[in-house]
Amino acid sequence: KRHLLEAADLDRDDATLVLDTAAQIDQALAGREVKKLPTLRGRTVVNLFYEDSTRTRISFELAAKRLSADVINFSAKGSSVSKGESLKDTALTLEAMGADAVVVRHSASGAPHRLANWVRGSVVNAGDGTHEHPTQALLDAYTIRQRLGRLDGVRVTIVGDVLHSRVARSNVGLLHTLGAQVTLVAPPTLLPVGVGSWPAQVGYDLDAVLPKSDVVMMLRVQAERMNASFFPSAREYSRRYGLDARRMAALPDDAIVMHPGPMNRGMEIAAEVADSVRSTIVEQVANGVSTRMAVLYLLLGGNT
């Protein structure tokens, strides 16, 4: 495969190969002072970010550098995008400079798919609008497997602003492919039209679902993508759909709490939950580096 644009690009074998490769990379680098492999020496990875990011941008940069690739970080702010240059012309300019892979984040759903038609190199979707964020789903699957030892049959409850969440879309697809059972819990106004055709159950009562969850994944309420009529009051939202210590106590003993970040502490997740031993939030960030190394390595066919 040349690109990673959405979770559906990966069948079960592909996804398992990425997770296994990430595990091998973690093993290879464990205990090393210099956390670097020579596999992508001489290759160039461009990080093309049209939308803000902390975790994804930095972890792709670190992933490419740890594979010894040359890295170009492009942010729309401060570039010729402000003079009206299009995504296509920007991408062709970067390709002319020798990009082997373009990692793209864009506020428009479908932008990475367009890009894949224009450039010869690999395109990796680092989050497009409300559509998909496949490498987030891979690092989440990796984290679940690392903590619980399996994905098959694991009960994953995804809670909150599903409507605007590319993380939810990619996770539902990938976790289903890997054999997990996914339940979505959200206010009716924050569920997308057509959610009934997703490979997931839908519920509205978080307290009823928590005791039957091995994983609870809290989503950020994306206020910036909502108009006022959609935006619930923070207090009401938190009362019905927030994960606090009382609700966390209803989870089975070995259940874990996830959040892709950035978090609204005190809204969808209480600070004491985010910082608890059940929380995998920091592990998810660390696993993002090895998972993205695996994706770049497999797409670019690095030497062993």
* Binding footprint of ligand CP on the chain (CB under 6 A): 53-56, 127, 133, 136, 260-262
- Cβ proximity to ligand CP, 261 vs 266, nearer residue: 261
- How far apart are the C-alpha atoms of 147 and 278, rounded to whole Å? 10
Residues 6 or more apart in contact with residue 60 via CB below 8 angstroms = 45, 47, 103, 124, 126, 135, 292, 296
Task: Tell me whether residue 266 is annotated as binding.
Answer: no
- How far apart are the C-alpha atoms of 134 and 146, rounded to whole Å? 18
- Cβ proximity to ligand CP, 39 vs 130, nearer residue: 130
Task: Tell me whether residue 43 is annotated as binding.
Answer: no
Task: Tell me whether residue 220 is annotated as binding.
Answer: yes
Q: How far is the CB of 239 from ligand CP (least distance, A)?
A: 25
C-alpha count within 13 angstroms, C-beta hemisphere, residue 87: 21
Residues 6 or more apart in contact with residue 182 via CB below 8 angstroms = 156, 157, 158, 171, 172, 175, 176, 199, 200, 201
- Cβ proximity to ligand CP, 127 vs 302, nearer residue: 127
Q: How far is the CB of 173 from ligand CP (least distance, A)?
A: 16
Distance between alpha carbon 42 and the CA centroid of its chain, in Å?
Answer: 27
CB atoms within 10 A of CB 4: 28
Task: Tell me whether residue 127 is annotated as binding.
Answer: no
- How far apart are the C-alpha atoms of 146 and 288, rounded to whole Å? 13
Task: Tell me whether residue 55 is annotated as binding.
Answer: yes
Q: How far is the CB of 261 from ligand CP (least distance, A)?
A: 5
> Nearest to ligand CP by Cβ — which residue?
56
C-alpha count within 13 angstroms, C-beta hemisphere, residue 60: 28
Distance between alpha carbon 270 and the CA centroid of its chain, in Å?
Answer: 21
Q: How far is the CB of 53 from ligand CP (least distance, A)?
A: 3
- Cβ proximity to ligand CP, 136 vs 171, nearer residue: 136
Task: Tell me whether residue 155 is annotated as binding.
Answer: no
Q: How far is the CB of 215 from ligand CP (least distance, A)?
A: 16
- Cβ proximity to ligand CP, 140 vs 214, nearer residue: 140
The β-bridge partners of 279 are 257
- Cβ proximity to ligand CP, 90 vs 136, nearer residue: 136
Angle separating helix axes 87-96 and 111-118, nearest 10 degrees: 40
Q: How far is the CB of 89 from ligand CP (least distance, A)?
A: 25
- Per the annotation, binding residues are 55-56, 83, 105, 133, 136, 166, 220, 261-262
- Per the annotation, binding residues for carbamoyl phosphate are 55-56, 105, 133, 136, 261-262
